Amino acid sequence: MTIGEARAAGRSPPLRGRCPAGRRAGGRSAAYAVAFLILGFFALSSPASALTLKPFKDELFAYPALLSSEKGDLYRVFDYRELRDINGRDAVPEKRVRAEYVSLGVRRAQRDLTLKSDAGDVRHVAVGATENASVIVVYLHGQGGSRRQGVDDYTFGGNFNRIKNLMAGNGGLYLSPDFTDFGDHGTAQVAALIGHYAETSPNAKIYVACGSMGGQICWKLAARPDTGSRVDGLLLLGSLWDEGFFSTPAFKRRIPVFFAQGSKDPVFPVASQEAFFRSILAKSKAYPTRFARFETGTHGTPIRMVDWREALNWMLSAKP
């Protein structure tokens, strides 16, 4: 990841913008009836099977070579090379990915909306099912970003186009909001957005992905009583850590946490994020957390390189 892309990594209320054969036979029939009743009981009483996202351009977005792994693949180090993963993937490096990486039909499912909330208007882009979604993914940009960053089809190697297609193609919803700051007010705006869509899609799992400074809001959401009880997983992409996480409602619920970091990140050192990841496992060795390190990658690398489908399918199947 080069300097330009690293910098790039660095808003129910109304919405504007615009689911007699003999006893033996009789005994056999009765036995079948009982069997069907038993099977029906267990089908109704057992939890629904976890959603698995269908593939979308998996061969293009698969992780590069695995260099090493630890803890049964909870911690993995991947080979990353700028010449291959930027120059070889983009038609115009950092500005426009090659055409085969994107599918633009998803734009028909994309809307720019405004949510009226107690924290103010929350402008956001919604892609997919705004009601009765199967799963919800929220992307929070970093310093200097906006809601448009998270829906740009061509930057970051087409990876935002992929998450849009994954959500729209699986009956899900993808949200990319604006917010005023990375403090309490911005967090309240994101919480209002999550609250609104949690009500319109009450059965959906909700995952929040945070790029760079957006991670500050991720950790604040984990600590709030409302979102700490609603959010079902966090993805920290080239982001920061928070020791306060261990006392949050989200940690007590054991929500999955996924980390992705470049080994040469000059903003948030990889050693610090790795230490925090290991501290989670030290608190609870079976805690659902994973770490992907991109060797030689810098600050914006994880946004470009994260395999959304693999990470989200792991979260969807994770047991608390």
For the domain that residue 168 is a member of, what is the CATH number? 3.40.50.1820
Domain that residue 177 falls in = 3-17+51-317
Is 38 part of any domain?
A: no
Sign for the CA dihedral angle at 247, 250, 255, 257 comes to: negative
Is 267 part of any domain?
A: yes
pLDDT of 95 above 90 = yes
Is 36 part of any domain?
A: no
Which DSSP category does 239 fall into?
A: -
Shortest CA distance to 136 belongs to which of 171, 103, 106, 104? 171
pLDDT of 260 above 70 = yes
- The domain total for the chain is 1
Is 29 part of any domain?
A: no
Q: Model confidence at 44, in pLDDT bands (50, 70, 90)? A: very low
Phi first, then psi: give them for residue 238, nearest 5 degrees.
Answer: 60, 45
In this predicted structure, what is the pLDDT of residue 299? Answer: 96
Using the CB atoms, write b or e for 65-90: b if 16+ within 10 Å.
eeeeeeeeebbbbbebeeeebbeebb
Is 76 part of any domain?
A: yes
Is 23 part of any domain?
A: no
Phi first, then psi: give them for residue 195, nearest 5 degrees.
Answer: -60, -40
Q: Report if pTM > 0.85.
A: yes
In this predicted structure, what is the pLDDT of residue 9? Answer: 61
Is 191 part of any domain?
A: yes
Strand intervals (E) in the chain: 15-16, 66-70, 75-79, 90-92, 96-97, 110-115, 122-128, 135-140, 173-177, 205-211, 233-237, 257-262, 289-295
**309-320 pLDDT, tens per residue?**
999 999 999 987
pLDDT of 164 above 50 = yes
Is 40 part of any domain?
A: no
Please state, in angstroms and rounded to a whole number, the distance separating the CA atoms of residues 55 and 46.
27
Cβ pair 239, 209 in contact under 8 A:
no
pLDDT of 150 above 70 = yes
